[in-house]
Chains A and B, each alone.
Chain A
């Protein structure tokens, strides 16, 4: 399958999501005027700084063996959650998404200036923004798959739940992510930091979840960032 760079990505930065990352877990929680102000400014600045990009491909699933998913080209993914979630997948959609480095550079600048509230709020804006890019890429995959009556399984990322982060090397072997400015470090971290990689299962016999809360498939129940819905 060809490799596609997705363009014209629509990003949606929801203030409730930004606040959730700041610890405000109850929807509709009243904010002080000062905090509302930094939230609004951070979202505005976020939209100006983000450079949303994504790169995508599909890879054939050859075989499922134990806790390993063997792909074409001899690549293997290892992860109990992944294998279980994509049991009936005949392909995987693979994507790397990013918002670029300008936002995180601005966050560092703000911390150095002692503008702590603005720095942390902008960082949370960045996290929400890159999730939005991943949602867009996920939606793109769903739309494409639906034309062939193919269902999409859960979206999972290496490093979450029981899927080892080291499998990032497989995703980065499949995708020339440097085309969208994303590199993988020796410890399998992505740079820029506000980047997300993921796979989704694709198959006619999958349960067909589409875009759904990835936290449902992650075993880290105690994670403070876990989405409940």
Chain B
């Protein structure tokens, strides 16, 4: 079994200390940063996402794996720029205006980062203009929005309209999610995708970016 496969397996098992140790060992042996990232850490989280979708594991195991990946990333992050390693893509993510719920958004952030995306997390109660400004600042091609209740869901449509008014239609894709959000609602308001959970969000974002 390759060294990188062992890293991946330890990510899956949620062994943060082991992942940190193995990542350092791989760096010390001169294995390329990009390989450790893609074939070790991201590969491990990819398997975790698949197991979660098949209901072989549940949220706690997913989060242990995410924590283990973070332990490895702590060593790789300072080296990524010099190694010329770029993220798979940027996503601006936030809970919409008036909504203070963040657990779902946090889970999506964790899974997207685990898949190799750069996430610009705007937090909660995010007005439409903040999404627009963040897209401009970071040149992000994807906007993700979360809302938990019926009174705040309409701000998803308002945000999509704000993106269109800013001339971003077609250039920026939107994905939405939340406890009572549905595919029908996404279709109704013109969102490009809907995700029912954090693991599915990763698949949908990859699809929106033409990565799968």
> CB-CB < 8 A to A164: which residues of B?
150
Number of interface residues of A (CB under 8 A): 33
B168 within 8 A of A: no
- B98 — which chain A residues lie within 8 A by C-beta? 185-187, 189
Residues of A within 8 A of B100 (CB): 185, 189, 191, 193
Interface-forming stretch among B17-25, B26-34, B35-43, B61-69?
B61-69
Report whether A35 and B60 are in contact in the complex, using a CB–CB cutoff of 8 Å: yes
Q: Is the CB of A120 within 8 A of B63?
A: yes
Q: Which residues of B contact A123 (CB under 8 A)?
A: 103
* Distance of A49 Cα from B3 Cα, bound (Å): 43
Q: Does A117 contact B (CB under 8 A)?
A: yes
Distance in angstroms from B193 CB to nearest chain A CB is 18
Which residues of A sit under 8 angstroms from B14, Cβ to Cβ?
Answer: 34, 117
Closest to B58 in A: A23
Contacts known (A187-B151, A189-B99); A117 close to B64, Cβ less than 8 A: yes
> Is residue B179 contacting chain A, with contact meaning CB distance below 8 A?
yes
Given A111-B106, A117-B67, A120-B63, A187:B152 Cβ within 8 A = yes
Least CB distance from B132 to A in Å reads 20
In the complex, the answer to whether A116 meets B66 with C-beta atoms within 8 Å is yes
The answer to whether B101 has its CB under 8 Å from any CB of chain A is yes
Measured between C-beta atoms, what is the minimum distance from A99 to chain B in Å? 16
Chain A residue contacts of B59, Cβ below 8 A: 22-23, 120
B172 CB, nearest partner CB in chain A, Å: 25
Partner of A117, one of B55, B60, B106, B151: B60
A193 to B124, CA, bound (A): 13
A223–B107 alpha-carbon span in the complex (Å): 18
User: Which of chain A's residues 152-184 have a Cβ closer than 8 Å to chain B?
Assistant: 159, 164-166
Min CB distance A100 to B, Å, is: 15
Mask, A108-150, CB within 8 Å of B = 1, is 1001001111011101000000000000000000000000000
Q: Mark B89-103, 1 if CB is under 8 A from A, else 0.
A: 000000000111111
In the complex, chain A residues whose CB is within 8 Å of the CB of B58:
22-24
Instruction: Return chain A residues, CB-CB under 8 Å to B110.
Output: 116
Cβ-defined contact, A120 with B60, below 8 A: yes
Please tell me which one of the listed residues A34, A107, A159 contacts residue B150 in the complex, with CB atoms under 8 A apart: A159
Q: Mark B144-157, 1 if CB is under 8 A from A, else 0.
A: 00000111100000
Tell me the bound Cα distance from A105 to B58 in angstroms. Answer: 24
Subset of 12 A-B contacts with CB under 8 Å:
A38-B60, A115-B67, A116-B63, A119-B106, A123-B103, A164-B150, A165-B149, A166-B151, A187-B151, A189-B152, A224-B179, A225-B179
Residues of chain A whose beta carbon lies under 8 Å from any beta carbon of chain B: 22-24, 32, 34-35, 38, 107-108, 111, 114-117, 119-121, 123, 159, 164-166, 185-189, 191, 193, 220, 223-225
Residues on B facing A (Cβ under 8 Å): 14, 55, 58-61, 63-64, 66-67, 70, 98-103, 106-107, 110, 149-152, 179-180
Q: A189-B100, A191-B100, A193-B101 are in contact. List 9 more A-B contacts (CB 8 A).
A: A23-B58, A117-B60, A117-B63, A117-B67, A120-B60, A166-B151, A187-B99, A189-B149, A189-B151
